[in-house]
Structure 1
Amino acid sequence: MNTASHSIKLLAVFAICAIALPSGTSALTIEPRSSWGAASARSPSRINGAVEYVIIHHSDNPNGCSTSQQCQRLIKNIQTDHKGRRKFSDIGYNFIVAGDGKVYEGRGFGLQGSHAPSYNRKSIGIVFLGNFESSAPSAQMLQNAKDLIELAKQGGHLRSDYTLLGHRQTKATSCPGTALYNEIKTWPRWKEIHLIAYLTSVCAMMNIKVKRQMMNTASHSFKFLAVFAVCAIALSSGTSALTIEPRSSWGAVKARSPSRINGAVEYVIIHHTENPDGCSTSEQCQRLIKNIQTDHKDRRQFSDIGYNFIVAGDGKVYEGRGFGLQGAHAPKYNYRSIGIAFLGNFESSAPSAQMLQKAKDLIELAQQGGYLRSDYTLLGHRQTKATDCPGTALYNEIKTWTHWKQI
Structure 2
Amino acid sequence: MRQTWRWFGPADLASIDDIVQAGAEGVVTALHHVPNGVVWSAEEIGKRQQQIRQRKDGTPSGIAWDVIESLPVSEDIKKQKGAWREHIANYQQSLRHVAAAGLRTVCYNFMPVLDWTRTDLRYQVAHGGTCMRFDINDFAVFEIHILKRSGAAESFAPEVVAEAARRFAGMDDAAQQQLSRNVTMGLPGSTESMTLDDVRAHLAEYQGISPDLLRQHFVDFLSEVVPVAEEVGVRLCCHPDDPPFPLLGLPRIMSTAADYRHILDAVDSPANGMTFCSGSLGARPDNDLPAMMQEFGPKVHFLHLRNVRRESDAISGSFYEDEHLAGSTDMVPLIAAILTEEARRKREGREDAEIPMRPDHGQDILDDLGRRAQPGYPTIGRLKGLAELRGVMTALGHREFGLGL
| TM-score normalised by the chain length of structure 2 | 0.28
Higher helix share: 2
Q: Of the two, which has the highest radius of gyration?
A: 1
